[in-house]
Amino acid sequence: MKKLLPLTGILTALLSSKSALAEYGLNMTQGVTSTSQDIYDLHMLIFWVCVAIGVVVFGAIFYSIIAFRKSQGAKAAHFHESTTVEFIWTGIPILILIAMAIPASKVLIDIETLEKADLTVKVTGHQWKWQYEYPEQGIGYISNLAQTSKDAIGSDKKPENYLLEVDNPLVLPVDTKIRFLITSSDVIHNWWVPELAVKQDGNPGFINDSWTEIAEEGVYRGQCAELCGKDHGFMPIVVEAVSKDAFAAWIADQKAEEEAAAASATIVWSEEELMASGENIYNASCSGCHQKDGSGMPGVFPAMSGSSITNGPAADHLSIVINGKGGMPAFKMLGDSDLASVITYERKAFGNNGSVVQPSDVTSAR
Amino acid sequence: MNTAAHDDHHGPEKGLLRWIKATNHKDIGTLYLWFAFAMLIVGGALAMGIRAELLHPGLQLMNPHFFNQLTTMHGLIMVFGAIMPAMVGLANWLIPTMVGAPDMALPRLNNWSFWVLPFAALILVSTFFMEGGAPAFGWTFYAPLSTAFAPDSTDFFIFAVHLLGFSSIMGAINIIATVLNMRAPEMRLMDMPLFVWTWLITSFLLIGAMPVLAGVVTMMLTDRNFGTAFFDATGGGDPVMFQHIFWFFGHPEVYIMILPAFGIISHILPTFSRKPLFGYSSMVYATASIAFLSYIVWAHHMYATGMPVAAELYFMYATMLIAVPTGVKVFNWVATMWKGSLTFEAPMLWALSFLFLFTIGGFSGLMLGIAPADIQYHDTYFVVAHFHYVLVTGSLWAIIAATLYWLPKWVGKMYNEKLAKIHFWWAMISVNVLFFPQHFLGLAGMPRRIPDYALQFSDFNWISSIGAFAFGLSFILFAYIVVDCIRNGSPTNSERPWYSAKGLEWTLSSPIPYHSFNTPPSRAQILEESQHS
């Protein structure tokens, strides 16, 4: 028992001091939603129950080790059963468990209940990026790991938010009930932001839902939490929680941008324009598997250079990129001009000699 | 008491054939144990690769695809190659000698159960050298990552899992037949020692769970090759159904790995406490309850898949219930030590360490069972810490304890106690340096199965990796201690190297004769050696 007291003291100090938490990340986040706070409180409750049971059990073990040593002349008693005692230590744990189950059930039912949402966001997992759509507002985009993190994987200089930064964060308003519809286009992914306490699998072919209401403006970072293949560790989530006004302004900007992109798909692009834009998209969306130099990974990811698809008829190439095939996910969520650029890049770079593909070709191939 | 005189006219064959044609339970037990140790080293080497990559942030040694192969194969090899075969090896050595039987009931089946294993392991390991690499979808091989999106070697993995399943089912049939039919006629079920009880119950878990595993990999096989769509929504299937089937096998599987460990601890603690096991019959009932509950809690691995709230509540309550019989076992062990006369030879140190660290794993398990809290724990390093506390410092600890406890009986020689104590403290400290910080990593938000991580996770990963390297090295010392005992150990003076040990196996001569219990023990002898007297 004596040995354990300092230990509990240290534990208390570590767990209750906020600065220590921030520095070393020892404990679960309290987050910025009522759900995350409820879960944190529940977690701490169970933790302290376990500590209390631990003090009793480990105390008895240590006491036995110290007090009943043969070397100290301890003589063994011969008792070996007691129905009363067995009943007591079956009954008490049951009571403790019931006491734990009541708050746990309350929190769970609360998490799973959402009557009415003010905003709906559809989240689709792809190998290895997230797609966010606002169906009511009619906008949507892809969110990739930021280039600064990608460049830092092999170097000693890491950006501050290494592997937790993206090119296009998910923008959400605060103080709004938000419903997430979570799904996947290929394998199972899991959309997890610890500070929102939202963690939900995206299952291909099915839609899960979850909800949140963010109390504080800020940037909240998370990661995919279900093994989804090679770059599972490289598809972070960044949520930017902003005021309702800022959110409305952002939606308007986003709409204007998407309209401009749609307009660009109706004109004919030069090969240089397609190649320049295609290289960026290739590096963001394709190089994870097919590699930056188009060499692929034999047996898993086919090479781009010299392939019969990239050098063959454009129709086959369009079909495989738009609809996917086997392990190759579909990329129909990209815009026409983006698809035209990246397909042209694949057909012209890496020493390939395929034809140029225009946005209008993509439109008709869809 | 048996003598070795009978061995003269039909002892074992000479040379390699003795092992290939082995039908003697002791030879087969030895094969299983060495095989398990070899697999432990292979699986451990893979773990060293994982921890070396995670030593620092960034990718230094391997690409993410290879990292995923390492985590997948580490899990599969440790579960199916190391822990399970080691437990079966102990069962082979111990069960006939504990129930007063001359051998296992089905010796040729026993031979086959073992000899399937090395080939299954070869097939599994050979996938590393195939185009596209080894399976890279985690030991839980969730569809569709393991079906439409997996390398071609996956079909070899499926075949290997089938073979491993055959081996386990045949082993389980053999154990059930031995315990129920070959037991000394005078031995009642409630006279059986706990290791026999836990293995009898485990065998029923194996027979219930392994065919389900075989079913799920067969569905994968047809999804991959024959155009079915069990797990593919575009064909009317459901990827979540995979997880239900997998965990219907997977949850009993974790008890398959821990129940025999409970049995082992129930032998070692009484011996070194010089006091009978407390609550023999409640130990038997607790084991049976745990086994029953293990079949009805599988979806607590799936709280994040989008289950309806009623299902989540049910699986949470059922899971919490497991804490009751598990608690009873821990309390009984503590009561066994209470007012005993304790000494601390190496097997006892491992058993005490088991009691302490397995309980920590039990606490984190209870926390993980709480569905809403699991939203934050699920698929993080907290889970990794939890299952390594129950499997490494639980199952593996019991296997090491059992080896040191019974080896002197088997070979009639004593291991080097001083080295064994050094080994114990080395492993005990390094394993905690290795796994304890992973609790913090998980709570702070580090997902499992990632080859590279954000900077706030650097310090604890570094500590964990250093602990891993030290822990890995400790097994070289363990191998030395075992080999040194077999070759150079000083002969034990008595049939009972541990004077206070009880059980029929200790009534045999030392080293244990090749054939034992040609005549069954008497009722008086059975009662004298039983755990409840």
Note whether A25 and A97 are same-domain residues.
yes
Gap between the Cα atoms of B444 and A26, Å rounded: 6
Residue from B126, A204, A301 nearest B135 by CA: B126
By the 8 A CB rule, do B243 and B305 touch?
yes
Cα nearest neighbour of B310 on chain A: A109
Q: Would the pLDDT of A17 be above 50?
A: no
C-beta atoms of A327 and B379 within 8 A: no
A-B CB pairs within 8 A amount to: 300
Q: Identify whether B426 is preceded by a cis peptide bond (ω within 30 of 0).
A: no
What pLDDT band is residue A307 in, cutting at 50, 70 and 90? Answer: confident
- A292 and chain B: CB distance < 8 Å anywhere? no
Name, in order, each residue with C-beta under 8 angstroms of A172's C-beta and a sequence gap of 6 or more: A119, A121, A178, A214, A239, A240, A241, A242, A247
How far, in Å, are A27, A228, B216, B528 from residue A203 at the CA level? 29, 11, 18, 59
Q: Would the pLDDT of A20 be above 70?
A: no
Nearest by CB to B376, which of A24, A39, A90? Answer: A39
Note whether A243 and A159 are same-domain residues.
yes
Q: How is chain B split into domains, by residue range?
A: 24-529
Note whether A253 and A269 are same-domain residues.
no
- Indicate which residues of B carry an active-site annotation: 74, 103, 139, 167-168, 251, 253, 255, 266, 300-301, 326, 329, 448
Note whether A288 and A254 are same-domain residues.
no
Nearest by CB to A50, which of B240, B281, B363? Answer: B363
What was the pLDDT predicted at A192? 97
What was the pLDDT predicted at B533? 61
C-beta atoms of B130 and A222 within 8 A: no
What was the pLDDT predicted at B506? 95
C-beta atoms of B452 and A153 within 8 A: yes
Cα nearest neighbour of A200 on chain B: B304
Q: Would the pLDDT of B383 be above 90?
A: yes
Single out the residue in A229, A247, A262 at which a domain terminates.
Answer: A262
Task: Find the mean pLDDT for residues A279-292.
Answer: 85
Cα nearest neighbour of B443 on chain A: A28
Q: Would the pLDDT of B7 be above 50?
A: no
Nearest by CB to A39, which of B63, B132, B375? Answer: B375
- B499 and chain A: CB distance < 8 Å anywhere? no
What was the pLDDT predicted at B166? 95
Which 3 state secondary structure label does DSSP give A131? strand
Is beta strand A139-143 parallel, antiparallel or unpaired with respect to A119-126? unpaired
Task: Find the mean pLDDT for residues B353-374.
Answer: 96
Residue from B491, B262, B279, B505 nearest B394 by CA: B262
How far, in Å, are A82, A83, A93, A126, B327 from residue A88 at the CA level? 10, 9, 9, 53, 11
> How far does CA B224 lie from the centroid of its chain?
31
Q: Distance, in angstroms, between B368 CA and closest chain A CA? A: 10
Contact residues, chain A, for B343 at CB < 8 Å: 69-71
Residue identified by tokens 């240290």 is A10
* pLDDT tens-digit series, residues A316-334: 888 888 888 777 878 888 8
* pLDDT tens-digit series, residues B445-463: 999 999 999 999 999 999 9
What was the pLDDT predicted at A294? 87
Cα nearest neighbour of A107 on chain B: B372
Amino acid at B205: L
* pLDDT tens-digit series, residues A205-259: 999 999 999 999 999 999 999 999 999 999 999 999 999 999 999 999 999 988 8
Using DSSP, how many helices (H) and how many strands (E) does chain B show?
17, 2
Contact residues, chain B, for A203 at CB < 8 Å: 233, 238-240, 305-306
**What are the φ and ψ backbone dihedral angles of A175, each rounded to 5 degrees?**
50, 35
Q: Distance, in angstroms, between A246 CA and closest chain B CA? A: 29
- B456 and chain A: CB distance < 8 Å anywhere? yes
Contact residues, chain B, for A36 at CB < 8 Å: 376
Residue identified by tokens 């601390």 is B344
- B532 and chain A: CB distance < 8 Å anywhere? yes
Contact residues, chain B, for A231 at CB < 8 Å: 64
Could you give the residue ranges of the DSSP H alpha helices within A141-293? 147-152, 244-264, 271-285, 287-290
By the 8 A CB rule, do B172 and B207 touch?
yes
Amino acid at B90: L
* pLDDT tens-digit series, residues B462-506: 999 999 999 999 999 999 999 999 999 999 988 899 989 999 999
Gap between the Cα atoms of B300 and A224, Å rounded: 20
How far, in Å, are B20, B33, B108, B260, B283 from residue B15 at the CA level? 9, 19, 19, 32, 43
State the Cα angle at A186 between A182 and A192, rounded to 5°. Answer: 40
Cα nearest neighbour of B304 on chain A: A200
By the 8 A CB rule, do B47 and B468 touch?
yes
Q: Would the pLDDT of B1 be above 50?
A: no
Gap between the Cα atoms of B26 and B20, Å rounded: 14
Burial label for B285, CB within 10 Å (0-12, 13-18, 19+), is middle
Task: Find the mean pLDDT for residues A93-119.
Answer: 92
Residues 370-389 of B with CB under 8 A from A: 370-373, 375-376, 378-380
- B444 and chain A: CB distance < 8 Å anywhere? yes
Note whether A165 and A210 are same-domain residues.
yes
Average pLDDT, rounded, for chain B: 94
- B155 and chain A: CB distance < 8 Å anywhere? no
What was the pLDDT predicted at A1? 40
What pLDDT band is residue A22 in, cutting at 50, 70 and 90? Answer: very low
- A22 and chain B: CB distance < 8 Å anywhere? no
Could you tell me the pTM of the whole model?
0.91
C-beta atoms of B341 and A70 within 8 A: yes
C-beta atoms of A230 and B136 within 8 A: yes
Nearest by CB to A47, which of B341, B367, B375? Answer: B367
C-beta atoms of A206 and B367 within 8 A: no
Note whether A144 and A245 are same-domain residues.
yes
Q: Would the pLDDT of B10 be above 70?
A: no
* pLDDT tens-digit series, residues A112-169: 888 789 999 999 999 999 999 999 999 999 999 999 999 899 888 899 999 999 999 9
What was the pLDDT predicted at A24? 58
Cα nearest neighbour of B69 on chain A: A230
CATH of the domain at A320: 1.10.760.10
Total structural domains in chain A? 3
Q: Which letter, b or e, does each residue of A303-323 get, where b requires 16 or more Cβ atoms within 10 Å of its Cβ?
A: bbbebebbbeebeebbebbbe
Query: What residue ranges in A176-271 does DSSP mark as E strands?
Result: 178-184, 189-193, 198-202, 208-212, 218-224, 237-242
Single out the residue in A111, A127, A150 at which a domain terminates.
Answer: A111
Q: DSSP readout, B371-416?
A: HHHHHHHTTBHHHHHHHHHHIIIIIIHHHHHHHHHHHHHHHSEE--
- A256 and chain B: CB distance < 8 Å anywhere? no
Residue from B24, B139, B147 nearest B92 by CA: B24
Note whether A182 and A224 are same-domain residues.
yes
Q: Would the pLDDT of A63 be above 90?
A: yes
How far, in Å, are A7, A164, A329, B284 from residue A229 at the CA level? 41, 18, 12, 43
What Rg, from alpha-carbon coordinates, does chain A have? 28
- A337 and chain B: CB distance < 8 Å anywhere? no
What was the pLDDT predicted at A18? 43
* pLDDT tens-digit series, residues B143-185: 999 998 999 999 999 999 999 999 999 999 999 999 999 999 9
Gap between the Cα atoms of A324 and B211, Å rounded: 35
By the 8 A CB rule, do B231 and B143 touch?
yes
- A186 and chain B: CB distance < 8 Å anywhere? yes
By the 8 A CB rule, do A88 and A56 touch?
no
What was the pLDDT predicted at A4? 47
Note whether A258 and A127 are same-domain residues.
yes
Which 3 state secondary structure label does DSSP give A73? coil
Task: Find the mean pLDDT for residues B91-117.
Answer: 96
Gap between the Cα atoms of A71 and B243, Å rounded: 53
- A24 and chain B: CB distance < 8 Å anywhere? yes
Single out the residue in A111, A130, A165 at which a domain terminates.
Answer: A111
Note whether A137 and A234 are same-domain residues.
yes
State the Cα angle at B64 between B124 and B450, rounded to 5°. Answer: 95
Note whether A161 and A35 are same-domain residues.
no
Continuous segment of H or E residues that includes residue A35: helix A34-67
Q: Does domain B24-529 have CATH number 1.20.210.10?
A: yes
C-beta atoms of B275 and A64 within 8 A: no
Task: Find the mean pLDDT for residues A183-187.
Answer: 93
Note whether A296 and A361 are same-domain residues.
yes
- A114 and chain B: CB distance < 8 Å anywhere? no
What was the pLDDT predicted at B466? 97
Supply the ipTM of this predicted assembly: 0.91
What was the pLDDT predicted at A64? 95
What was the pLDDT predicted at B73? 97
C-beta atoms of B447 and A223 within 8 A: yes
By the 8 A CB rule, do B51 and B469 touch?
yes
Gap between the Cα atoms of A333 and A190, Å rounded: 19
Its domain, for residue A185, covers 119-262
Task: Find the mean pLDDT for residues B201-219.
Answer: 97
How far, in Å, are A147, B317, B359, B378, B395 from residue B369 at the CA level? 39, 8, 15, 10, 20
What was the pLDDT predicted at A21? 43
Choosing among B338, B461, B498, which should be mutated to test the A contact, i.e. which has the most A CBs within 10 A? B338
- A65 and chain B: CB distance < 8 Å anywhere? yes
Pair of tokens at residue B26: 């002791």
Contact residues, chain A, for B144 at CB < 8 Å: 186-188, 204
* pLDDT tens-digit series, residues B49-68: 999 999 999 999 999 999 99
How far, in Å, are A272, A356, B365, B391, B435 from residue B430 at the CA level? 59, 60, 22, 16, 9
Q: Which one has a higher pLDDT value, A39 or A80?
A: A39
Gap between the Cα atoms of B298 and A222, Å rounded: 27
Amino acid at A282: Y
Cα nearest neighbour of B272 on chain A: A70
> How far does CA B166 lie from the centroid of its chain?
17
Contact residues, chain B, for A155 at CB < 8 Å: 58
Contact residues, chain A, for B149 at CB < 8 Å: 127, 186-187, 229, 326-327
Q: Which one has a higher pLDDT value, A273 or B350?
A: B350
Q: What is the DSSP letter of B213?
A: H
Note whether A83 and A146 are same-domain residues.
no
Cα nearest neighbour of B363 on chain A: A50
